[in-house]
Amino acid sequence: MTEVLHELLRGSLDHCVKCTICETACPVSNVTPLFPGPKYVGPQAERYRVDDEPSVEWSVDYCSGCGICTQVCPQGVKIAEINALARQRVKQQRGVPLRDRVITRPTVLGRVGTPVARLANASLRSRPLRTVMERVIGVHRDAPVPQFAGRTFRSWARRHESPRRVRKVIYFHGCGTEYYEPDVGEKTVAVLEHNGFQVEIPKQGCCGLPLQSNGLFDDARKYVLRLARALAPHARDGALIVGNATSCTLMLKREAREILGLAADPDLKFVSERTYDVCELLLEQHDRGELKTDMRPVEETVAYHAPCQQQGHWIGKPALDLLALVPGLEVQELDARCCGIAGTYGLKREKYDIAMATGADLFRQIRDSRADLVACDSETCRWQIEHATEAPSVHPIELLHRAYGL
């Protein structure tokens, strides 16, 4: 089955008419010659890749996996997916460095770091230690690594009792919420409950996205299937699955099925079809006239950045429509493509500078906007934005939470 699906992805390259639209949109190739662009390494080079033979080119490792090329392609070529498979083969042939095996396991890092959060955070802020870390394992000394919250979201969730309601959603919080931003999870739950949902929070783990984008496909499959098996039983009665980590919900919706070749797995298929980005769900509520609009004014200017992975849902920018409902809030849409971080990409010693250059356009727009804060649906993008611009950043749901006065 895996092979059949990969052949489908690969077969789409014959639709490439070399129009270069993907290359106009690629945020990486536009800032570094090390990545010659999605068309070159994708539909073009793919014709020369033969299983079990050395890769004909290695630059695909510099693709950040943002997925914009697939989104803009007018001919339906699965460029990003073809390149994800190619990157995995390159990694297999060259070997995956220890660093990429470590930074791709947020649940392991979270479990180790949370009990010793103060020490861990201080170490991650320590210049000398980060320099050592850069030399020894190759995580760039300046890269925006998050700070452990020192408590898990689950520890809150275990104590939290959601009021019983007719409509129920299953909350998929992701690792960022679990170990670094439990408050975002609490606010997401509060906003959902305020809008009449009973929120069930099953025990869950990592979706495997970081492993997948680093070419560790076997491990990624284990993680995402384990997650699908954890979520599916809770949704059997018709409840939707909703998440605030937009790249992780995209992993469940589409990427794992396409890139990891898991389209046939029944649990993952079931979960995929029922998974919602939280803003997507709330916009549909609003469309039905069921979203509460008892909002008080939030007198601020916010600049909104839609992360690449959010755009990969192919649902437009529902956060913008929701933020437009908040009285007093002035929302500016940023149209720069990418912040550069791409999950773990911008953490790497050899890629940090590229990631910062990729995001430069966005950072400039944020500075020019003079906004009080930045709204963005992905946690790693928010960390990168804060690192580069020092502008405070929030998930759009946090602004709704404030407007509702919860």
Q: How far is the CB of 21 from other proteins (least distance, A)?
A: 5
Euclidean distance between CA atoms 327 and 399, whole angstroms: 11
Task: Give the strand order in the sheet containing 301-305.
Answer: 330-333, 301-305, 373-376, 393-394
- Please, which residue, 321 or 330, has the CB nearer to other proteins? 321
Maximum CA extent, the chain: 62
Task: Extract long-range pairs of 52-56: CB within 8 Å, 24+ residues apart.
Answer: 54/93, 55/86, 55/89, 55/90, 55/93
Q: Is 73 in the site for other proteins (CB under 8 A)?
A: yes
Q: Is 273 in the site for other proteins (CB under 8 A)?
A: yes
The helix-helix angle for 2-11 and 79-94 (nearest 10°) equals: 120
Which region, judged by CB under 8 A, interacts with other proteins, from 23-31, 95-103, 207-215, 294-302?
23-31
Q: Is 70 in the site for other proteins (CB under 8 A)?
A: yes
Q: Are strands 330-333 and 301-305 parallel, antiparallel or unpaired?
A: parallel
- Please, which residue, 139 or 169, has the CB nearer to other proteins? 169
Q: Is 368 in the site for other proteins (CB under 8 A)?
A: no
- Please, which residue, 74 or 233, has the CB nearer to other proteins? 74
Q: Is 300 in the site for other proteins (CB under 8 A)?
A: no
How does DSSP classify residue 146? Answer: P
In the list 27, 36, 138, 343, the residue contacting other proteins (rule: CB under 8 A) is: 36
Q: Is 358 in the site for other proteins (CB under 8 A)?
A: no
Q: Is 272 in the site for other proteins (CB under 8 A)?
A: yes
CB 230 within 8 A of CB 186: no
Binding track over 223-262 against other proteins, x by CB under 8 A: ---------------------------x-xxx--------
CB 354 within 8 A of CB 374: no
Euclidean distance between CA atoms 200 and 194, whole angstroms: 14
CB 210 within 8 A of CB 343: yes
Which region, judged by CB under 8 A, interacts with other proteins, from 148-156, 214-222, 305-313, 397-405?
305-313
Which region, judged by CB under 8 A, interacts with other proteins, from 56-64, 85-93, 143-151, 272-280?
272-280
Euclidean distance between CA atoms 345 and 355, whole angstroms: 7
Residues that bind other proteins (CB under 8 A): 17, 19-21, 23-25, 30, 32-33, 36, 70-76, 250, 252-254, 272-275, 283-284, 287-288, 311-317, 321, 333, 335
